[in-house]
Every structure is written in C-alpha cells, then in structure tokens.
Amino acid sequence: MKDLELPFEWELVDGAIVVRGMTPLWHNLVRDRMYHRLESAKREPYSVASKQCVLVDENNPPKPDVIVYDKRDLDVFSLECIPVEKVALVIEVVSSGSRQDDRIRKPGMFAEAKVPYFWRVERGQDDLPEVHELWFHHDLAMYVPAPSHPIPSGKLKTDVPFPFEVDLAGLVEP
C-alpha cells in the first residue's frame, strides 16, 4: 500500500483509501507557519515535521498537519512513518473537508494511542486561528482542555512539550 501512486492526496483510514480534498490558503498558511515557529523553538530531544505519517497501526498511518516527536533512536534514512509512541504533539488545522476527522476521529485515535498533546486549530469568527490545546488525561483515557488556557486568544503560550509562544494573528498575516 505504501508504494501506491495515486493522482490525488489520500490517506489510509481503517485500511481504506480516503481521498483528501484540497485545502484553502488559510489552512496552509497556518500549518506552515506553525511548523516553522515550532521548528525555531524546539528543544532536545524533539524534532518537528509537517504532513509526516504516524504509524498508529497497520491500517491507520495518518498524516497530521504538524507533529512534534522524540527523535532519539530514529533512523531518518530508512524510517517512513514516525512510531506513534514517539509523538509528543499532534496539530490538526481544520478545514471544510476535514472537520469530522480533525474534531472526532483523529483526537480519538491519538488519545487511544496516549499521545500527550493534541492541538486542534479552528478558523475563528474573526478569521484568526483558535488553538484548542488538549492534554491527554490518563485516568479518563481521553483529551481534556489544557488546565490554564484551553483556547488562548491573541497569543498561544505553553510549556509543553517545550516552551513555545506564537502570535496567532501572525500565522495568517499576508
């Protein structure tokens, strides 16, 4: 399946090929700029990747918009997908063609795999990104809103998985 060449973007979901639609410029700007800002802020042992498959299981190697992962003991020359147990943060930027996946399926799948942090980025009423910062709750076995700032406004500032701060308006400025 991994060598399958198709004339469109696709993802394997529960063993079935799912066509991925085109994403709007707003989505791509937010994804790419979030990636670059995280890349600039990263600390050892972490690395950052965009649209990199994560091996949750044989039938589910999703490609989140951005991931932060522990790079120790990974062979970048032969590895195709990041093992889910190495992932510290998954970021999904919601667009019209991915709402159900980004809001329900992917958070559930990554919570089941115990990925510590999941950020869902929505387009707010003012067209600025709203980051829903979710933390894995071990007792509940699900994601819950970050305790001190579940949906930051204006600026996202967090210490997990490493210290990071970003002006949200700057992610979509021309």
Q: Give dist(CA 96, CA 63) in Å, integer.
A: 17
Cα–Cα distance measured from residue 63 to residue 34, given in angstroms and rounded to the nearest whole number: 16
Alpha helices in the chain (DSSP H): 25-41, 99-100, 106-112
- According to CATH, the topology of domain 25-171 is tt1808, chain A (3.90.1570)
State pLDDT tens for residues 110-155: 999 999 999 999 999 999 999 999 999 999 999 999 987 768 778 9
Q: Which sequence spans correspond to the domains of the chain? A: 25-171
The pLDDT of residue 17 is 73
Let me know: does 78 contact 96? Beta carbons within 8 Å: no
Q: Please state whether the predicted TM-score (pTM) of the whole model is above 0.75.
A: yes
For residues 35 and 32, what is the distance between their CA atoms, to the nearest angstrom?
5
Instruction: Quote the pLDDT of residue 2.
Output: 55
